Amino acid sequence: MADQNRVVLYGMWASPYAKRVQLALKIKGIPFQYVEEDLQNKSPDLLKFNPVYKKVPVLVHNGRPICESALILEYIEEVWNNNGPSLLPQDPYKRAQVRFWADYVQKQVFEGLFLLIKTEGEAQEKAVEDVKEKLKVLEEQGLKNLLAEGSTFVNGDELGYLDIVMLTLLGMYKVHEEFFGVKIVEEEKIPVVFSWLNRLIEHPFAKESAPPKEKVLGFLHFLRQKFIHSQAAA
């Protein structure tokens, strides 16, 4: 019977997408086995379970793989709907709003933040300002409507879909600020986002799974050197 309910997550420590699945499983109280992947030397199991994209995360439930983090979170919500708190609001309109802003954070804020690794000088300064502007939009158009007065998180008292996405994409913002030598999340300009993000960072599951700062700095340095070399070779 145990094998019939076996859950295995294939991930990589620096992947925010794998991290969001890991957090969702913990929030829902679902026992799972975690397998750390070396993406420079992918395991046969990863290639077998995700032959299309060949990347993490992959959730294997009862021997059947589910790929892509957004789809995995939807799957977790549907299959274990009676476990723990719901990751999404019950109201269909609120669900749509949560999905919209999660997509916004992913495509606008995080992808803008990722540009900092690829750019230098004026281009990097422009990328920083663009991220700040996108965070301001999230503050004024999103959070003020989604974060109910007195609520700890968008999902209420426990992390939900949008909370998890924000945490896994910007939860290490202080390390990014130290690495790039710039201020990204400014309390005086986006106080709601600032306080929400720091409450997310203080969540027990977030603190438990946060990698050491030195390890993150080393990974950022690796990525930056990789992009600089690839641009020089182009």
88 contact partners, CB below 8 Å, separation of at least 6:
77, 95, 98, 99, 160, 161
Q: In the chain, which residues fall in CATH 3.40.30.10?
A: 7-80
Distance from C-alpha of 36 to C-alpha of 57, rounded to nearest angstrom = 10
- 7-80: CATH topology is Glutaredoxin (3.40.30)
Q: In the chain, which residues fall in CATH 1.20.1050.10?
A: 92-231
List the structure tokens of 8: 């295995």
- pLDDT by 10s per residue, the chain, length 234: 345 589 999 999 999 999 999 999 999 999 999 999 999 999 999 999 999 999 999 999 999 999 999 999 999 999 999 999 999 999 999 999 999 999 999 999 999 898 999 888 999 999 999 999 999 999 999 998 899 878 899 999 999 999 999 999 999 999 999 999 999 999 999 999 999 999 999 999 999 999 999 999 999 999 998 887 776 665
For the domain bounded by 92-231, which CATH number is listed? 1.20.1050.10
- What is the b/e burial string over 146-157, where b = at least 16 CB atoms within 10 angstroms of the residue's CB? bbeeeebbbbee
Residue 114 amino acid letter: F
List the structure tokens of 131: 């991220």
Distance from C-alpha of 166 to C-alpha of 198, rounded to nearest angstrom = 11
Q: What is the DSSP letter of 153?
A: B
What's the pTM? 0.93
199 contact partners, CB below 8 Å, separation of at least 6:
152, 153
